[in-house]
Amino acid sequence: MNLPAIACALLLLLHLNFSPVKSSPPQGLGKGRHPPGKGDHHGHNGHSGDDGHQHDHSDDYNGYSFYVFGDSFADNGNLVKMNPRSELNRQWRYPYGLSGRFSNSLVQSDLIAYMLRQKKSPPAHRLTRKVGRAGLNFAVGGSGVFDVPGTQTLARQIHTFHKLVKDGDIDQDRLASKSVALVAVSGNDYARLPADTKSFAEVEDFAKKVTAEIAFNVRRLQDIGVEKVLVNNLHPFRCSPAQTRPYNHTRCNERRNLAATLHNHHLADELAGMEDVLLVDLNAAFSNVVRHYNDDGDGDIIPNLFREKLAPCCESTDPKGYCGQVDTDKLEPLYKVCDNPNYFFFWDEMNPTMVGWQAVMGPLDYPIRKFLGLIR
């Protein structure tokens, strides 16, 4: 298999695949099926940066207004760039894409925006004063449904959105007739659980609280007037590099599997019966890649694309550190970066590379576009 050729073919894989609350699984490309799209590589990050991708914020844009809530899977610049460098502001500096995103380039919100015929995610709320027809991004890296210092909870993000609606900055009629929201909650809350937690009842009780809060906020978005809502389920974070590092990235940490399993079970129950809500099965889409960590994917083009499915492109030299960390005295990097991010599914200890995101979203395109009435 010619991996560079596949990487080029997949680099702008934006005819993507997702799931109404009966969460249909992603539709894989399978043997012999090639993803559409092509693209050029632009330097180390695999992308030319923000300069090459302009938002479609023109007044004559008539597609869905897109409102984004959640964490680093969707954030495009809502955390402040400041000193000293930290886990919550590293995304504005090398080796990240310098656009406020927690990746080497595009993230999930950008790829969904592309499906809506926008060039990338609507602008970050912190970086704009005008709400255009394209929508607005409120997602904040590191956030969850419960308080995390330096971030905004999902409820706080929605409160900010609601205020814009009440103040008339967001048109209520357009909101009710042509809007879609993404709720991307990716497991930051579960860091509250001790790593050695073994009690099924304790984990389940916590998962119920997290998913109930997500469901409450989905209903709140609908009450505010959002027409349709996309809700991520939880990816298999047992296979994220932060969890696989103790095993030298040779296998997933099965001890961390229980939380994701219970979360997704209770989230599906919470959202069952809600109209105009689509459960986005990130778990299945991620698993399609990471479960093949020790094989070539049996001919499936997507897992076969990645030379490294569990190891990140950017990794700290300190097991307790983070990608982008710098020695404050010597100003020397405390991390290593791979030569080609397009061979790696993960960018850092949790977030995918741009090509990784495209591989996740590729098998999820059809259900979400069908849900939005973009295809028949």
Domain spans, the chain: 59-240+251-295+352-372
Of 268, 74, 22, residue with least CA distance to 185? 74
The model's confidence at residue 58, banded by pLDDT at 50, 70 and 90, is low
Of 133, 107, 131, residue with least CA distance to 53? 107
Give mean pLDDT, residues 117-127.
Answer: 96
Give mean pLDDT, residues 272-291.
Answer: 96
Per-residue model confidence as pLDDT tens digits over 96-119: 998 999 999 999 999 999 999 999
Of 185, 189, 84, 201, residue with least CA distance to 140? 185
Distance separating alpha carbons of residues 112 and 343, to the nearest angstrom: 23
Give mean pLDDT, residues 126-148.
Answer: 94
55 pLDDT more than 60: no
- Bridge-based pairing of strands 277-280 and 228-232 is parallel
pLDDT value, residue 59: 63
Give mean pLDDT, residues 59-84.
Answer: 92
Per-residue model confidence as pLDDT tens digits over 232-242: 999 999 999 99
- The tokens for 128 are 């704009």
Whole-structure pTM value? 0.85
pLDDT value, residue 217: 98
Distance separating alpha carbons of residues 151 and 89, to the nearest angstrom: 11
Detail the DSSP E strand segments found in 95-223: 135-137, 179-184
More confident residue, 6 or 32: 6
pLDDT value, residue 297: 55
Distance separating alpha carbons of residues 183 and 154, to the nearest angstrom: 8
- The tokens for 253 are 């940490």
Is the CB of residue 361 less than 8 Å from the CB of residue 108? Answer: yes
pLDDT value, residue 244: 95
Detail the DSSP E strand segments found in the chain: 65-70, 135-137, 179-184, 228-232, 277-280, 308-312, 314-316, 335-337, 344-346
Detail the DSSP E strand segments found in 187-255: 228-232
Per-residue model confidence as pLDDT tens digits over 178-203: 999 999 999 999 988 876 776 889 99
- The tokens for 85 are 């460098």
Distance separating alpha carbons of residues 298 and 250, to the nearest angstrom: 18
When mean pLDDT is compared across 11-15, 68-72, 277-281, 327-331, the lowest value belongs to: 11-15
Token pair 């702008």: residue? 12
pLDDT value, residue 255: 78
CATH for 59-240+251-295+352-372, among 3.40.50.1110, 3.40.50.980, 3.90.76.10, 1.10.10.10?
A: 3.40.50.1110
Distance separating alpha carbons of residues 54 and 110, to the nearest angstrom: 12
